[in-house]
Each structure stands twice: as C-alpha cells, then as structure tokens.
C-alpha cells in the first residue's frame, strides 16, 4: 500500500498535488510519502510484536536524512555499510547502540570510527576482516561485538545482481567454515563473537528461500551453542520484496515472513535483528518527470522525458519494472500503445521502460514512476553533467525539499584546475 492517489483528476502524494510540487521545484524530482514510510515500518515491526526484536532499516535503500529521521522517530535502528552511512544515521539522531555495520570492505578507519561511536555490532564477512577488526579494537582497548555473516549457498530466486547468499557471491563466509571461524574468533583480542548474521538477497518474493536459510541458521545456532558459544542475537538481514507490478506482483506479507522466522527460531533465547530496506522505502517514493517529446522511429515509438538513467538506474541495471502513471488522470483512460520511455542521457541504455503500453503524451505532460523510494536517488549520478534531482518529503498537506537540486555553478565549483592551466 502507498499514499499516492488521484484526487480531482490529478495524482497526489498524500494531501499534496504532484503538479503543484513540479511547478515549484521543476522536474525531475523524487517525492516521498511520510505516511507510507511510517505505515510500512509499523507493519514490519508489528509483525514481531512480543519478540525481543531490533529492526534496523537498511540505509543504503534511501539515505536521505529526513527519511532516516522519520523512521528513527518510529523506533527504527539502522543498518549501515559505510562510515558515511553511519554518520548519516547518527546525524539523524539514531542511537549508536541501535546500529549494525555490514559490508565486505570495511576499512580500518571505518572500524575505528564505528568503535568510537559504540555501535551495536559488526557483521563480519571474512576471516581477514575479523583479524583487522581485532587489531583495531585491541589497539583501542575495546572489544568489537561481531556476528559472522554466513553464506548458506541458497538461491534467493531474485535478480543475479542482488543475490547475496549463493556460494559464488562475494558476501559472507562459507557455511561449512563458520564453526571454525567462531572458534578462532574466541581467541582474538578485541573481539566478542556474540551473534550470527545471514542475508541471502534482495527483492525476494518467495518464502521458501527464507525458510531454507532459516533452517540452516537454526542448525548453526544449535551447533555453536553445543560448542560453548553464547549467542546474544541472530540477525536475519532483509530482502523481503515489494510489489513493483501492483496487484499482479504481491510478495509475502511481513506477518507471513515473521511466522516463518518464529517457526524456525522457536525457543532460541536471543534477540532477533532484521535489516529491511526496500520493503520500508520502495513504495514510499515516486520519480516525477516531464515529457519533452513524442518521437516515432521506423518501427518504434519513443516517449522522451527529462529523467534519465542517471536519475533512476534500476531499469537498465537490474532489468527492473516500475509502473508509470500519468499525473493527469484523464490520460489513464486514453488509448495506449507500446512506447519506450527514454531519457536525455547519451546512452542506448538510458530508459525507464521498454515497450510499455502508455497513452500518447503531449509536451509538458507529467509522469510518475512508482516504487522509486528505494535504490533510486541513492544510486543517482551527475553523468552528462546533469544535476542531481531534488528530493521532496510530503507529510499530510505539507511538503518540503529535503535535498535541493544543485546549480550548475555548484557542480563546476567541485572541480579544481591545476596551476599549469
């Protein structure tokens, strides 16, 4: 569910017309719904009501400070994958003890910063990382709380570029080496191995891969207990999918996901940690663009808009489908024919949709690309010297720009000419 709907013939975000925002800030722009962010977080968190659970929103999905602060006010912790994301979480007021640090390439300086901040735990992805973290922590006279990220070699049945739990993926340590690594870690100075972490991928729409992973996770937890390790928490990551194709693409409900978790981890006396990202932010955002031209090729129709692959890379990077709605409701009922919705970037891969049945647009018409709240603005770039697009947060009938569009002077000022030029 999201809070984008037609009112009086115009597409609204909660109580604000997207056309009104477009007139004020220009296009393209991202628009996020506070009500949707709150609702999705609440539904996920409530699925684990009665359990000792820590929900750590995955910052990489959408790292805007206003989004983080909105979720933090609902009680969310944060999952970060860099010092920059950690600094964002802290700037948004998230308590350090509600933050977990993931990622395969943490630097020693990032480790030191996270230790100084006092985060809840590190998700350690290799033996080498464990030794590096041990060195950093021991030099500070500290002990880093860790969970090894265990790779169960399970196919999550998602896009190959967002699979993280197969043997050939770069993430985690092999399942059959985990017990040995926990034994080794118990002898490392500056390390306290007190949890297990497993995350098998993103945009997962079938509960079976989760169930298979949970079975292995529980087996490992029991083995570690038998080995004498004391586990304080189990972190099952994130990955629950969202409905990109509307009612034709419904993933499992968080309640069903929670039931699978409870069934597998019953009687395991430890905290449950989760790292949802897309399921919280995905449907909470849209990308609004303006039609520049309708172009008819020899055997192809093109709808040229002012948003490109540098603004939303998911369609070309992940073969992703996003629903596209006209902001003017009258166009929803107009005759539709196949068109490629393309942008102004000088690349053949610059498209938002291919062969999509859409009405014939006029110059200046507005479109909304749905389910763009996750992995949209965070993956954008200034390729072709195109300014990053603004981000807007709506709250009821109020709205605010939460990341402004830089000027061209702002962009040029980032460069430096050497003295010989």
Q: Supply the residues annotated as catalytic.
A: 346
CA distance 323 to 39: 21
Residues with Cβ within 8 Å of 141's Cβ and at least 6 positions away in sequence, in order, are none
Look at strands 233-235 and 271-274 and give their pairing: parallel
- Using the CB atoms, write b or e for 397-414: b if 16+ within 10 Å: eebeebbeebeeeeeeee
Residue 195, SS3 per DSSP: strand
For the chain, what is the largest distance between any 2 Cα atoms, rounded to a whole number of angstroms?
Answer: 71
**Sign of the C-alpha dihedral, residues 214, 215, 220, 226?**
positive
CB-count burial class (<10 Å; 0-12, 13-18, 19+) for 341: buried
Where are the alpha helices (H) located in 309-415, listed in sequence order? 314-318, 408-412
Report DSSP state, residue 248: G
Measured in whole angstroms, the distance separating CA 163 from the mean position of its chain's CA atoms is: 14
């Amino acid at each position: 569910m999201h809070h984008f709907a037609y009112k009086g013939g115009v597409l609204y975000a909660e109580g604000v017309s997207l056309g009104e925002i477009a007139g004020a800030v220009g296009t393209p722009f991202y628009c996020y719904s506070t009500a949707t962010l709150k609702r999705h977080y609440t539904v996920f968190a409530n699925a684990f009501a009665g359990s000792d659970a820590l929900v750590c929103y995955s910052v990489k999905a959408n790292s805007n400070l206003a989004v983080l602060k909105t979720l933090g006010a609902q009680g969310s912790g944060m999952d970060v994958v860099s010092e920059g994301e950690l600094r964002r979480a802290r700037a948004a007021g998230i308590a350090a003890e509600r933050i977990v640090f993931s990622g395969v390439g943490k630097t020693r300086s990032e480790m030191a910063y996270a230790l100084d901040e006092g985060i809840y735990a590190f998700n350690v992805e290799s033996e080498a990382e464990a030794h590096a973290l041990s060195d950093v922590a021991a030099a500070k006279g500290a002990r880093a709380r860790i969970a090894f990220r265990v790779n169960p070699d399970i196919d999550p049945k998602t896009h190959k570029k967002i699979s993280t739990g197969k043997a050939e993926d770069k993430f985690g340590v092999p399942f059959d080496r985990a017990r040995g690594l926990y034994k080794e870690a118990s002898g490392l100075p500056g390390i306290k191995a007190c949890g297990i972490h497993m995350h098998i991928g993103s945009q997962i729409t079938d509960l079976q891969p989760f169930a298979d992973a949970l079975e292995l996770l529980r087996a490992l937890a029991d083995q570690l207990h038998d080995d004498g390790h004391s586990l304080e928490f189990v972190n099952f990551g994130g990955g629950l999918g969202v409905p990109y194709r509307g009612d034709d693409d419904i993933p499992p409900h968080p309640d069903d996901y929670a039931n699978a978790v409870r069934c597998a981890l019953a009687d395991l006396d430890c905290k449950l940690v989760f790292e949802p990202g897309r399921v919280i932010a995905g449907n909470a955002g849209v990308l609004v663009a303006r039609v520049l031209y309708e172009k008819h090729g020899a055997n192809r129709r093109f709808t040229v808009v002012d948003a490109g692959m540098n603004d939303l890379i998911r369609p070309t990077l992940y073969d992703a489908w996003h629903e596209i709605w006209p902001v003017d409701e009258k166009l929803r009922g107009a005759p539709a024919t196949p068109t490629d919705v393309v942008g102004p970037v000088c690349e053949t891969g610059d498209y938002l949709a291919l062969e999509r049945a859409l009405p014939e647009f006029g110059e200046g018409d507005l479109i909304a690309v749905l389910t763009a709240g996750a992995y949209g603005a965070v993956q954008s770039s200034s390729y072709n010297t195109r300014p990053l697009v603004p981000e807007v947060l709506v709250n009821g009938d109020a709205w605010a720009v939460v990341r402004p569009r830089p000027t061209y002077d702002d962009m040029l000022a980032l460069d430096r000419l050497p003295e010989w030029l």
